Amino acid sequence: MFYIINIMIIAKKKGKGENMGIIFNEQEKQFHIFNKSLSYVIGICQDGDIGQLYFGKPIRTDQKLQDYQSYGIRPLCCNEKDDEKYTKELALLEYPSFGDGDFGSSAYEVLQDNGSRVSKFTYQFHRIYKGKKPIPGLPATYTNEDEEADSLEIVCRDLISGLEVTLCYTVWENYSAICRHTKLKNTGDKKLKLEQALSCNVDFPDTNFTWLQFEGAWGRERSPKERDISSGITAIESLRGHSSANYNPFVIIKRKNADDFQGEAFGFNLVYSGNYIAKTQADTFGKLRFNMGINPKWFQWPLEPGEEFNTPEVIITYTSNGLNDLSQNIHRLMNNNLVRSAYKNKPRPILLNNWEATEMDFDEEKILKIARKGKEAGVELFVLDDGWFGKRNDDFAGLGDWYVNTDKLPDGISGLSKKINELGLKFGLWIEPEMVNEDSDMYRQHPDWVLAAPYRPRTLGRHQMVLDYSKPEVVDNIYDQLYAVISTASIDYIKWDMNRSITECYSQDVARDKQGMTYHKYIMGVYSLYERLRKAFPHILFESCASGGARFDAGMLYYAPQAWCSDDTDGHERVKIQYGTSYGYPVSMVGSHVSASPNLQTHRAMTIDGRANVAYYGTFGYELDLNEISEEDFESVKEQIKFMKEYRELFQYGNYYRLQSPFENNISAWMVVSDDRQTAIVTTHKTENIPNWGIERIKLQGLNPDIVYTINDKDDIYGDYLMNAGISLMNKERHWYESDGDYTTHMYILKGKVTK
Ligand code: DGJ
């Protein structure tokens, strides 16, 4: 029988925003969150919990789905007195509790005054509104205008403990994405302690998926790695105090046959930079649970009556059209609704950084000589890296003392920045504000300002200790020191580095029951310093860095629109690193520079153009002394900079496609296409030059099938052919194998000619 639905459309309107909505079906107690590419349906279960009813391609809004929750045949515990088949073991839940019959991994755990950890919340009320609220003290996506998104808050309460759990959802009009986080508030009159407070949970009704994670280590960050998740627990985490180069806080759950070009997948980006966990649990009933958030290990958060805790946000993306589509969706959302900066959606300055040229061995004249040559080549920004402050002549001293070393720079940062400006360049500066060396005035004065466990030796990393950013006085001191430097010089860019993981995470002189707050308070301290500096100096372009890419996450992107992608600047390795990074992060975030050859990290040689062809897919710059390269190479550098100035908006903000993986092929390829599909740039990279090779074609993506393209000003080929048959890498024009060596790249610039 046709089911007549009683719906209340709250967030639907004409014009902007009409392609999305949040509908509450009062009668069926169902929420339908939707836009043109997805539907997410949740409902109030019969015991008052919140259940997951559907997540996937858009479906009709007028259907009753509550009865589709699965019921048990012979449950070993049932959750309703009057209905012995209703069991949480089989129910798909939105934020599972601990101890009330859901035996999977719970989303939160609360220790109560009486020692109990059992909790069960029930629906109280909800709010639906236009736009999106910020999350206090935490990075999060935001709306530029309310019409871009609709939000839902479902307020639930554990009537015994008084813990109020608010599930927060935002759906976007222009992205196939839902953002989620959770608020937990003590509305009772006794102390509570959160022992776990994850950001979100999604239960799927089958386990036919694989898990894609992005892993590595220093110098080889974010390689894609697929894992089977059909049974038991699959997880990644960080317990280093930062999101880490080892496992990036971004995961894709995809259908087994899904690839870059087709298939269904769900992406989960945690907007957080500290310890985290991402986990799936495939149970023996065929339910797949995914949850993500702050790592519960070493986390304990006391909640006094009236206090509230906000979890970080998770950006959940969905595609039914393959992983390139998923990634482009993430790229757009991050560029438009996560990045906040004077450089948001703007071309990034081409920079020259002195680190690989001089390390800490420099004086003003050496720096000016490098900068002058950079100006001659056409760079726009000179960045002075590590070594300008305190007694920083090697990495044993100086961190914590943010005043200039006048032996190296007699006129200070103020004098040097002015001289750099006089050359016609902007000036940028490196800092590492979270760290301190034993040999520093700061440590001598404040040994209690470092994270250190009582009576235990302090584990060093690069000879440095970690400042206790959970203490506001530490953050204030660093802010004041940095303010003094920045406000008296001409600084347009800051590279914020962080070169070790946290050990002995203990806050000195802080009460025993507050120690479990330290990791999270640390990262909140980092965010607060970023926020204060951003507000004080809104014109500054921040680039985050952590020994390369060890804190490359969506949380950082909220404060710093670009991030140093890796200390590995070898072009061949960078193809892999940047390819892996592209799954979860936009090209505009990727700090990428041309460095010297042979490369400092790998000792591999590549041509100057080969190195640039890879670095174009990022913020672009140079990390070498241009005085030291041949005249011929210097002429190439000038051409490269001219070229990048012409095309950087396309590289940084165009639609990026992975075409052939460097992890699986001798020849890998990627491309960017302009929104109007009139211009595209394809780059191929070959690992090994194999003699007498045969046919080599790569199918392109995203072109207009009905227009003719020139390729490097030659050829006249329709987009349909290039996408269905491919671009030939070995035709009459391009018999590369005869002239190439190993590790060679080629670039193809496609321009649309005629519109039919
Ligand atoms: C690590 C960074 O990744 C490098 O680029 C450089 O800034 C050094 N630190 C300086 O110590």
DSSP string, 723-752: HHT-EESSSSS--HHHH--SSEEEEEEEEE
pLDDT at 7: 38
Q: Which two tokens stand for residue 351?
A: 């920079």
pLDDT at 84: 74
Our mutation pick for probing the ligand 1 site, out of 495, 499, 574, counting the most ligand atoms within 8 A of Cβ, is: 499
Ligand 1 mean position, distance from CA 261 (Å): 36
Whether the per-residue pLDDT at 217 is higher than 80: the answer is yes
Based on the residue annotation, tell me whether 497 is a catalytic residue of this protein.
yes
Single-letter code of the amino acid located at 318: Y
Our mutation pick for probing the ligand 1 site, out of 220, 567, 600, 601, counting the most ligand atoms within 8 A of Cβ, is: 567
Whether the per-residue pLDDT at 83 is higher than 90: the answer is no
Active-site residue among 49, 283, 567, 570? 567
Ligand 1 mean position, distance from CA 418 (Å): 24
Res. 75 pLDDT band, cuts 50 70 90: confident
Active-site residue among 497, 553, 570, 609? 497
pLDDT at 16: 64
Our mutation pick for probing the ligand 1 site, out of 547, 600, 623, counting the most ligand atoms within 8 A of Cβ, is: 547
pLDDT at 6: 35
Nearest atom in ligand 1 to the alpha carbon of residue 548 is: 3
Q: Of the candidates 365, 428, 427, 430, which has an alpha carbon nearest to the alpha carbon of residue 399?
A: 430
Predicted confidence (pLDDT) per residue in 130-173, tens digit: 999 999 999 999 999 999 999 999 999 999 999 999 999 999 99
Predicted confidence (pLDDT) per residue in 638-655, tens digit: 999 999 999 999 999 999
Mean per-residue pLDDT over the chain, rounded: 95
With H, G, I as helix, E, B as strand and everything else as coil, classify residue 324: helix
Mean pLDDT of 727-733: 86
165 touches 108 (CB < 8 A): yes
Ligand 1 mean position, distance from CA 668 (Å): 29
Whether the per-residue pLDDT at 736 is higher than 80: the answer is no
Pocket of ligand 1 (CB under 6 A): 355, 385-386, 430, 497, 499, 545, 547-548, 564, 567
Mean pLDDT of 451-459: 96
pLDDT at 271: 99
pLDDT at 755: 57
Predicted confidence (pLDDT) per residue in 334-365, tens digit: 999 999 999 999 999 999 999 999 999 999 99
Whether the per-residue pLDDT at 743 is higher than 80: the answer is yes
Q: Which residue's structure tokens are 């009865």?
A: 67
Q: Of the candidates 682, 685, 676, which has an alpha carbon nearest to the alpha carbon of residue 701?
A: 682
* Phi, psi for 374 (deg, rounded to 5): -60, -45
Based on the residue annotation, tell me whether 567 is a catalytic residue of this protein.
yes
Mean pLDDT of 88-110: 93
Closest C-alpha residue for ligand 1 atom 9? 547
Ligand 1 mean position, distance from CA 109 (Å): 39
Ligand 1 mean position, distance from CA 495 (Å): 9
Tell me which long-range contacts 8-12 makes (C-beta under 8 A, separation of at least 24).
Answer: 10/128, 11/128, 11/129, 11/130, 11/150
Helix (H) or strand (E) holding 366: helix 364-377
Q: Write down the pTM of the prediction.
A: 0.96
Predicted confidence (pLDDT) per residue in 307-320, tens digit: 999 999 999 999 99
Tell me how far apart the alpha carbons of residues 723 and 739 are, in angstroms, rounded to a whole number.
Answer: 27
Tell me how far apart the alpha carbons of residues 651 and 653 are, in angstroms, rounded to a whole number.
Answer: 6
Q: Which of 61-75, 92-106, 437-451 is the most confident on average?
A: 437-451
Mean pLDDT of 224-232: 96
Ligand 1 mean position, distance from CA 547 (Å): 6
Whether the per-residue pLDDT at 588 is higher than 80: the answer is yes
Q: Of the candidates 172, 167, 140, which has an alpha carbon nearest to the alpha carbon of residue 34?
A: 172
Specify the pairing of strand 707-711 against strand 351-353: unpaired
Ligand 1 mean position, distance from CA 615 (Å): 18
Ligand 1 mean position, distance from CA 742 (Å): 29
pLDDT at 11: 41
Q: Which residue's structure tokens are 């010089």?
A: 489
Tell me how far apart the alpha carbons of residues 49 and 94 are, in angstroms, rounded to a whole number.
Answer: 8
Helices (H), 14-164: none
Predicted confidence (pLDDT) per residue in 654-703, tens digit: 999 999 999 999 999 999 999 999 999 999 999 999 988 888 999 999 99
Mean pLDDT of 406-434: 98
165 touches 86 (CB < 8 A): no
pLDDT at 101: 87
Mean pLDDT of 267-280: 98
